[in-house]
């Protein structure tokens, strides 16, 4: 097997911890990675005024596949104050390197699987008949359009004249907001393009086909947000009809989906949504399978760049513990997504099987799995440390 070159981006806080442990798991499972470190995060903001240096972008552009831990973001004032004194007052403005990565590489497809592991005490349970409890098996994969919608940054408070004029050309705007002073108006635009919407839909259908899911559910709100959600729903019907007739196409509204979240989560397979609703739906489903310690993700561009990362952030309050306590599984799962993408399925299967065995066995649990409040004491009180959890998983790799 040829060695694969992977850019590792540990970032800040627990990003370093979980990424390092994940590399141990990859090694133990026989993955031959050539890891090249990329600088990213708070340290480089403070030192260089740029949390996502050009050299890191060049590395990712060259090697195409990256494993990313997490970064720390802080509000503008704090960011300015922590900037190296030599750089202060020179017009540096902090912006999140995650958003930066998405924009620079147009990582428009975000995939967030939410699958429950048997035996995870954090799994969602609901009341059944009589005094019984049901623990539905959840296997949902959310496809979130990652670059458009309400997160594109096209927004104004007190919109400039041209924009205001354009808004006033819409009868609904005149009717509802025509009497409001322009300086009291804030607008965030929800832009969907046909090309990006088609890409996320096709990615969702392809995945359903490849991994045997029987349905794709569009989770938007086309009955009200007619132009953008409407576009996604129209395109979904066309694409299903022309190319994926064997896969059922379902339609849920985001609000109703959240209401049904706990009623019948086992009925959903692949879910596809725009940026905002995809963000909401993926966090919601992740909550049913154990939360941030289990939520993994991947982001892809049209030209072959792929970044794999846990959904959680840098959890600064746990970053400097002498014995790290955070759950490494979200990062390990993200690495498994990378292995699938690299066609190293035999290795990802081994790792996932090991994780499943450890969770089912129930002897090794990080503090989150024991429903403890995170502190330096949790290991003394019976929780596994990050390293103990990793060791346990490694011990089950065969």
Q: Given the complex with ligand NAI, which of 253 and 364 has the nearer CB atom?
A: 364
The item of ligand NAI, Mg ion, none sharing an interface with residue 208, based on CB under 5 to 8 Å by kind, is none
Q: Given the complex with ligand NAI, which of 144 and 312 has the nearer CB atom?
A: 312
Decide: is 21 part of the binding site for ligand NAI (CB under 6 A): no
Query: Which tokens hold the place of 91?
Result: 């017009």
Q: Provide the minimum distance between the beta carbon of 397 and ligand NAI in the complex, in angstroms, as a whole number.
A: 20
Q: Given the complex with ligand NAI, which of 83 and 239 has the nearer CB atom?
A: 83
DSSP label at residue 10: E
| Sites for Mg ion among residues 252-281 (CB under 5 A) | 279
CA distances from 231 to 142, 174, 221 (A): 19, 24, 11
The item of ligand NAI, Mg ion, none sharing an interface with residue 110, based on CB under 5 to 8 Å by kind, is none
Q: Provide the minimum distance between the beta carbon of 293 and ligand NAI in the complex, in angstroms, as a whole number.
A: 4
| Sites for ligand NAI among residues 269-298 (CB under 6 A) | 292-293
Decide: is 313 part of the binding site for ligand NAI (CB under 6 A): yes
The item of Mg ion, ligand NAI, none sharing an interface with residue 101, based on CB under 5 to 8 Å by kind, is none
Cα separation, 308 vs 306, in Å, equals 7
Among 314, 334, 364, 385, binds ligand NAI (CB under 6 A): 314
Q: Provide the minimum distance between the beta carbon of 248 and ligand NAI in the complex, in angstroms, as a whole number.
A: 32
CA distances from 229 to 141, 175, 221, 254, 274 (A): 19, 23, 6, 11, 8
Binding string, residues 90-119; x marks residues near ligand NAI by CB under 6 A: --------x---------------------
Cβ-contact 355, 117 below 8 angstroms: yes
How many residues of this chain bind ligand NAI (CB under 6 A)?
19
Decide: is 384 part of the binding site for ligand NAI (CB under 6 A): no
CA distances from 64 to 26, 112, 146, 248 (A): 19, 20, 18, 33
| Residues pairing with 156 in the sheet | 187
Binding string, residues 115-154; x marks residues near ligand NAI by CB under 6 A: ----------------------------------------
Binding string, residues 222-261; x marks residues near ligand NAI by CB under 6 A: ----------------------------------------
Element (H, E) at 394: helix 386-395
Q: What is the DSSP string of 314-370?
A: --HHHHT-SS--S--HHHHHHHHHHHHHTT-HHHHHHHHHHHHHHHHH-S--BGGGG
Q: Provide the minimum distance between the beta carbon of 57 and ligand NAI in the complex, in angstroms, as a whole number.
A: 17
Among 330, 335, 347, 354, binds ligand NAI (CB under 6 A): 330
Instruction: Provide the CA 6 distance to its chain's centre, in angstroms.
Output: 19
Instruction: Provide the CA 297 distance to its chain's centre, in angstroms.
Output: 4
Cα separation, 27 vs 34, in Å, equals 11
CA distances from 223 to 135, 150, 200, 254 (A): 33, 18, 20, 11
Q: What is the CA radius of gyration of the chain?
A: 22
Binding site for Mg ion (CB under 5 A): 279
Binding site for ligand NAI (CB under 6 A): 18, 70-73, 98, 292-293, 312-317, 326-327, 330, 368, 374
């Amino acid at each position: 097997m040829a060695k694969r070159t992977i850019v590792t981006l540990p970032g800040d806080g627990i990003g370093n911890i979980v990424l390092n442990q994940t590399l141990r798991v990859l090694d133990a499972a026989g993955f031959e990675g050539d890891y090249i470190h990329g600088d990213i995060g708070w340290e480089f903001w403070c030192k260089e005024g740029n949390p996502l240096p050009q050299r890191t972008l060049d590395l990712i552009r060259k090697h195409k596949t990256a494993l990313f831990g997490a970064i720390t973001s802080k509000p503008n004032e704090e960011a300015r104050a922590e900037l190296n004194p030599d750089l202060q007052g020179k017009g540096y403005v902090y912006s999140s390197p995650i958003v930066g990565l998405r924009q620079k590489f147009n990582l428009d497809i975000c995939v967030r699987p939410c699958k429950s592991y048997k035996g995870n005490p954090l799994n969602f349970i609901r009341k059944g008949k009589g005094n019984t409890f049901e623990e539905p098996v959840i296997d949902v994969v959310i496809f979130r359009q990652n670059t458009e919608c309400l997160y594109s940054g096209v927004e104004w408070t007190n919109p400039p004249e041209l924009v205001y004029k354009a808004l006033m050309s819409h009868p609904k705007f005149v009717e509802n907001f025509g009497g409001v002073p322009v300086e009291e108006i804030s607008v965030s635009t929800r832009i969907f393009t046909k090309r990006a919407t088609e890409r996320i839909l096709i990615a969702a259908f392809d995945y359903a086909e490849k991994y045997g899911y029987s349905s794709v559910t569009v989770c938007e709100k086309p009955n009200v947000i007619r132009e953008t959600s409407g576009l996604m729903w129209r395109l979904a019907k066309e694409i299903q009809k022309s190319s994926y007739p064997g896969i059922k196409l379902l339609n849920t509204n985001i609000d109703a989906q959240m209401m049904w979240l706990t009623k019948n989560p086992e009925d959903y397979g692949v879910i596809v949504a725009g940026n905002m609703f995809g963000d909401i739906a993926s966090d919601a489903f992740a909550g049913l399978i154990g939360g941030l310690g289990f939520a993994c993700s991947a982001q892809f561009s049209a030209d072959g760049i792929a970044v794999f990362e846990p959904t959680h952030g840098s959890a600064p309050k746990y970053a400097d513990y002498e014995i790290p306590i955070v759950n490494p599984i979200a990062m390990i799962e993200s690495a498994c997504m990378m292995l699938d993408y690299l066609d190293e399925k035999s290795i990802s299967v081994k790792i996932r099987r090991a994780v499943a065995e450890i969770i089912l066995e129930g002897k090794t649990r990080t503090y989150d799995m024991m429903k403890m409040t995170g502190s330096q004491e949790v290991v003394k009180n019976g929780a596994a440390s990050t390293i103990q959890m990793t060791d346990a998983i490694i011990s089950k790799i065969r």
